[in-house]
Each structure stands twice: as structure tokens, then as C-alpha cells.
């Protein structure tokens, strides 16, 4: 598996778990506001700097007495052909697995759920389905399949959207909420970074808390719970 990063501990990324984070290299989206672009753009992925999988596994074995969760994020983890085998190894060690995905490959997500290799799923909703390319650099594809299987999986899950002033409008956010109507949990995440981005000329800004609260009120009846973070 192409591992581009390893964070030894997080108290924020996996609800109610002390976890480590693995960042896989490679993505099938090209979001202009992506700050992990060095794990996205093939020409920027330095294979000499990738982590050796065996060493990562050894590290996670040693850390198990301090950790109970593992977050697999990216990039886009479902692109990794050996992701299932890696997760089998993590489950044998005893880790609870949270998968972060963009939802473009529902068949991979379905297989992981069916085999019991994931315990929590977080899926990004980039924009309205009919204009997804504007927000993600690619068409929406089969994201509705992934949304449906997540919502019907009996696993705890969340949907989340990073909102960018100058890119997302109120009507976009309403349409995004309609994609996941009836879902358990939807997070609105405010854009905010000074890092270089995947879109070198991208000029997005953060929304104010007042604006985010207005969005939250606007879509609150579409989902069971909508929170800002």
C-alpha cells in the first residue's frame, strides 16, 4: 500500500477513540482547495519518501496498548488495491477502523463493509451532483450508490463538506444536503488554510461563523443532525 504519511496519535479524527492516522498516496479527485495535494498529484508523490508498510505495521503493533482506533485517509484510500489485506492485518492486531472516502468507488466500500473491515465511515460531499466537477475536478460518478450503502450499512457514519467562500453558494449547500437526506450526521467544515493548494490559482476564503450557522439552519431539516466544525 502506498503510505504517504503517518500521524502517531489523534483525539479528534475518530469519535470516542484514541487513534493513529494513515495517509495513503494518490487520489481520483482534483479539488482545487485540497491542502493534501502532495498526496494527490502523481507528479508530486515522491516514492522515495513513502513509508514502508512493514515498518508501519510494526509501529502500530507496538502502539496498540496506547491506541484503539486507526483512521485510513488520503488521498483516496479506496484506490489502493491492497487496502483490504492491510485492513485485515489491522483487525488482527485489534484496531477499530475508520475509513475516510470520497465515495467514487462504491464497490470497494461495499466489499470492505461486507467483510467487516471497517467500523466507521466518513464520506466527503464536495458539491451538488450535477456540478460536481466544479468542486472536485471530476464528475460525481456513482457517489449516490456509496451514500446509499453507507446509510444502510448499520455502521456509524458521517458525511461532511468543506465549504469555501467564493466557491460554494447557499443553493449549492442545499442541494448537497438533499444528496444525503435523512442521514444521521452531517458536518459543515469551514475552509481555512495558508498552505499551498492543489489549485495554484485558487482564491477561496473562509465563511464567517454567522454564515455557517445560517447554512446549518437552512439544511437542518434535511438530516438528523448537522454540526459545524
> If DSSP states are collapsed to H, E and C, what string results for the chain?
CCEEEEEEEECCCCCCCCEEEEEECCCCCCCCCCCCHHHCCHHHCCHHHCECHHHHHHHHHHHCCCCCEEEEECCCHHHCCCHHHHHHHHHHHCCEEEEEECCCCHHHHHHHHHHCCCCEEEEECCCCHHHHHHHHCCCCCCHHHHHHHHHCCCCCEEEEEEECECCECHHHHHHHHHHCCCCCCEEEEECCCCCCCCCCCCCCECCCHHHHHHHHHHHCCCCCCEEEC
Q: pTM for the full model?
A: 0.93
Instruction: Specify the pLDDT at position 180.
Output: 98
Instruction: Specify the pLDDT at position 227.
Output: 96
CATH superfamily of 3-228: Aldolase class I (3.20.20.70)
Instruction: Specify the pLDDT at position 44.
Output: 65
Instruction: Specify the pLDDT at position 52.
Output: 94
Instruction: Specify the pLDDT at position 48.
Output: 75
Cell of 53: 508498510
Percent of the chain exceeding pLDDT 90 equals 80
Low-confidence ranges of the chain (pLDDT < 70): 42-45, 193-202
Yes or no: say if 27 and 74 are a contact pair by the CB < 8 Å rule: yes
Domain limits of the chain? 3-228
Amino acid at each position: 500500500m502506498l503510505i504517504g504519511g503517518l500521524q502517531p496519535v489523534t483525539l479528534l479524527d475518530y469519535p470516542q477513540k484514541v487513534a493513529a492516522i494513515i495517509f495513503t498516496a494518490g487520489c481520483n479527485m482534483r479539488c482545487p482547495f485540497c491542502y493534501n495535494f502532495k498526496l494527490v498529484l502523481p507528479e508530486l508523490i515522491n516514492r522515495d519518501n513513502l513509508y514502508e508498510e512493514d515498518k508501519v505495521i510494526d509501529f502500530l503493533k507496538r502502539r496498540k496498548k496506547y491506541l484503539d482506533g486507526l483512521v485510513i485517509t488520503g488521498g483516496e484510500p479506496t484506490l489502493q488495491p491492497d487496502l483490504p489485506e492491510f485492513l485485515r492485518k489491522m483487525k488482527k492486531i485489534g484496531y477499530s477502523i475508520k475509513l475516510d472516502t470520497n465515495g467514487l468507488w462504491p464497490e470497494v466500500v461495499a466489499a470492505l463493509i461486507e467483510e467487516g473491515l471497517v467500523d466507521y465511515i466518513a464520506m466527503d460531499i464536495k458539491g451538488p451532483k450535477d456540478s460536481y466537477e466544479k468542486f472536485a475536478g471530476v464528475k460525481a460518478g456513482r457517489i449516490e450508490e456509496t451514500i446509499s450503502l453507507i446509510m444502510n450499512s448499520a455502521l456509524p457514519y458521517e458525511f461532511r463538506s468543506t465549504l469555501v467562500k467564493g466557491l460554494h453558494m447557499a443553493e449549492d449547500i442545499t442541494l448537497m444536503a438533499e444528496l444525503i437526506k435523512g442521514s444521521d450526521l452531517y458536518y459543515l467544515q469551514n475552509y481555512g488554510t495558508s498552505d499551498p493548494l492543489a489549485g495554484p490559482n485558487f482564491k477561496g476564503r473562509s465563511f464567517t461563523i454567522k454564515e455557517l450557522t445560517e447554512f446549518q439552519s437552512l439544511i437542518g431539516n434535511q438530516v438528523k443532525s448537522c454540526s459545524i466544525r
